[in-house]
Each structure stands twice: as C-alpha cells, then as structure tokens.
C-alpha cells in the first residue's frame, strides 16, 4: 500500500463541480477514514460540505478522495467519511511495496554471471531491485531476467539507469530494454490488478 500516515503529498482541493479552489499538500489517515489538506490559504467551508482532494504526481491526478468537511480554517481542512478512487496512472507510482526474488544474469567477457536480487518496485517502463552491497552493478549494465516470481518478466532485458541506497542494501533503478508484446500486456494487467487490490483505501 502506498499510503503511510503522516506522509504528505502534492494535492489540489476541488469543489463538487471540479473547480480547483486551492493547491497544497495532503495526507490520508486510514484509521480515521479522513484526509487533511494544507495550503498557505484555504477558503473556509461550512461543516458537512462535500469536497474533493486529488493527489498529484508529476502534475497528473492519480488518486481522488471525496468526503465531508469536519474542520476548516485558513490553512487546514479535514474531510471525514472519505471514499477514494484510483485514477489512470496511479499504477505507475503505487506499485512500490514488492519483496520478490529476481534472478538476473549478465555477461562478463565469455562468462555469464547470475545474481539473485529482490524486486521492490515495478511499473510499465522498468523496475527497481535491491541486493547485497557487495553485489555491484554499473550504470548502463545490460541485465537479463532469468526467473522471477512474476513469470511474465522472465526473458525480459533491463538496463541499469541509476544507483539507489535502500537501508543497508544497494538498489538500482532499471528500464526495460526488451520485453515481448505479450509480456508487456501481462505486465500492464498485473499492475492494474495489484493497484486495485493493494492501494484502494476505502
């Protein structure tokens, strides 16, 4: 699940007709079925009025929260009795709580070396994995997925684009270099299904 309480994200506050009334930050309190919205200035609304907070990612709307005003002041608004809707594109940012084995191979001269790493996030353009800090990869390395708990990824090739630090492990963000048409279709279906099953909050 993407949401962790006290994590704030870019958001807009909207009227029921879709008109944007403020841009700011929001967070979700799942245990209370509520959403907090904060901005330099928030218009005052009567208690009980129905409003919408929409999460933004890269300027795109990805998650909609609709609820009733419980608290309203000049910088903070709280909605309660919230319902949510995952919007198109949310699967590209929310599928980031994996912990699955992933076997990768690479060529070192005439020798093929294999490494077992952990898949931690996935989207339609690539994936991120972690590994023992002693298992080093370089930007531009071409890697081949030999096996994965997600079988449709087996046979795909990836290219390392950026190193990451994930706790005491090394991490690498990669792009798909070659993935079959059928595998790409299965990937998109899987991402949509995973997103709905794990990230719809209410």
What is the enclosing helix (H) or strand (E) of 127?
strand 126-131
Tens digit of each residue's pLDDT (9 = 90 or more) over 128-185 = 999 987 778 999 999 999 888 899 999 999 999 999 877 778 899 999 999 999 999 9
Listed residue (97, 127, 82) closest to 1, CA to CA: 97
* Main-chain phi, psi angles of 92, to 5 degrees: -75, -20
Tens digit of each residue's pLDDT (9 = 90 or more) over 71-107 = 999 999 999 999 999 999 899 888 888 999 999 998 7
How far CA 162 is from CA of 94, 120, 140, 173, in Å, comes to 20, 15, 9, 5
Model pTM?
0.82
């Amino acid at each position: 699940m993407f949401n962790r309480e006290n994590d704030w994200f870019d958001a807009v506050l909207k009227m029921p007709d879709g008109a944007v009334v403020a841009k700011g930050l929001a967070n979700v309190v799942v245990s209370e079925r509520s959403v907090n919205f904060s901005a330099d200035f928030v218009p005052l609304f009567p208690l009980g009025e129905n409003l919408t907070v929409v999460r933004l990612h890269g300027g795109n709307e990805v998650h909609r929260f609709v609820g009733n005003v419980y608290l309203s002041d000049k910088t903070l608004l709280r909605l309660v009795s919230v319902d949510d809707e995952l919007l198109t594109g949310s699967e590209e940012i929310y599928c980031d709580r994996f912990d699955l084995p992933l076997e990768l191979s690479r060529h070192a001269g005439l020798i093929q070396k294999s490494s077992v790493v952990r898949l931690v996030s996935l989207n339609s353009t690539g994936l991120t994995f972690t590994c023992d800090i002693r298992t080093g990869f370089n930007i531009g390395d071409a890697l081949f997925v030999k096996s994965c708990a997600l079988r449709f990824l087996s046979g795909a090739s990836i290219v390392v684009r950026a190193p990451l630090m994930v706790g005491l492990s090394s991490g690498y963000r990669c792009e798909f270099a070659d993935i079959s048409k059928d595998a790409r279709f299965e990937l998109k279906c899987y991402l949509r299904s995973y997103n709905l099953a794990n990230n719809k909050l209410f």
